[in-house]
Every structure is written in C-alpha cells, then in structure tokens.
Amino acid sequence: MTGIDALALKAAGGALAAEAARFSGYGWMRGTSGNLSIVMQREPLVLAVTASGLDKSELTDADIVLIDAAGRAASADDPRAPSAEAGLHAHIAARTGAGAIFHVHALDAVVAGHRWPEGVELRDLEMLKGIGHAAHGESILIPVIANDQDMVIESERFDSVYAPPTPRTAEVPALIVAGHGMYAWGADVAAARRHLEIAEWMLRFTVATR
C-alpha cells in the first residue's frame, strides 16, 4: 500500500486521461504509444503513470499505475505492470524536481533528433520565452540521447546531458530520445503541457526551415 489518497489518485488519473486525449488528437500518442506521469508523493517518491498497453485516446481516470523511484509497481494491490519507460519518468522527477513528466512520439522531434544527434540548437524564436529563455541573444540546446530499452542506461544518458537551472540560467525542460520520441516536464501538469507543446512547435519550425 502507498497511502495515496483515493480522491487525489482519481484526480491525477483524470488529469492524465485528459492530457493523453489532447496529445492523441495532435497525433503524438498514436495507439498505445507514449506515457504521462504526475508525482503523487516526494518522500518516498511515488508517481502515477498512464497504464501500459491501452489506447491513449480512450483512457479513464482509473487507467494509471503507481510506481516508485525505480519505476517499479508501488502498489501490491495492482496487478498491472508499469510501462517499461516508467523508470525514466521517476528519474526525471527525482533529478529535476518536476511534478509532471510527459513522453510523446511527436514526429518532428524524432526527425530533429535524427538530423542533429548532438542536440538541436534553438535561438531567436519568440516561443523560447515559453520555456523560460530569452527570445533573442540566447542559444539553447534540446539534448538528444540514444534509445535503449534499459531505463537505467537511459537515466545515465539523461544525467550526461541535463543541465540543472542556476541563479542565472533556466533549465531546458525537454529531451529527445533518438528514433523514439520526446520528454518534457514541469512543476505541474499545466507547465509540463506548455513545455511540451512549445518545444514541439520550435522543433517543427526548425525541421521545416533549417
């Protein structure tokens, strides 16, 4: 048992179902692809993650699985297995302090990762302000890591490219996994959605124009 309040869990499930439906409508979570998570508890870390193997356009507030800091099932009462990618969600939450982590299979992010495997440089775009950076005079890099089925390896790769915020610089709250998709995160659901949508727009623009 995790001790997570049932009403809080239902609310988290409803929020994730709504976001999954939104992103499915964009074509970013086709079929059963992608996964979204919300941090339910910090100490010890517990996340609610969209259940694996379900059509993401049709989720309900019950279609979530609780995971621990290692991405393992956190509730002995739930027979469903978490997504194989749950471990990276938990790692990003622990490493960045994010309250929500979204992973989608947006095509332009995959194309950008293929074209620029060392990272996708962005500058002089007004939309940069939406992820905490200056619209002009600043260059940021959306990092790209190689894909692997082992989330311990993926977590190590995340650490190798992640630059935490400092008093003078904001983080880049997005990551591309080559040949796979992208992750974005934020303090809460609204921030994670905003970062994901804005990062995808800038990647789409870059793929179209560079």
We report the CATH number of the domain holding residue 32 as 3.40.225.10
Flag whether pLDDT at 1 surpasses 50. Answer: no
- Provide the residue range defining the domain that includes 59: 6-209
Flag whether pLDDT at 2 surpasses 70. Answer: no
Domain for residue 16, yes or no? yes
Domain for residue 166, yes or no? yes
Burial 19-48 (b: 16+ CB within 10 A, else e): bbeebbeeebbbeebbbbbbbbbeeebbbb
Asked if omega into 44 is within 30° of 0 (cis), the reply is: yes
Domain for residue 29, yes or no? yes
Domain for residue 1, yes or no? no
Distance CA 24, CA 170 (A): 29
DSSP 5: -
Summarised one tens digit per residue, pLDDT across range 152-181 is 999 999 999 999 999 989 999 999 999 999
Domain for residue 68, yes or no? yes
The chain-wide mean pLDDT, for the chain, equals: 95
Flag whether pLDDT at 68 surpasses 90. Answer: yes
pLDDT at 82: 82
Domain count, the chain: 1
pLDDT at 79: 82
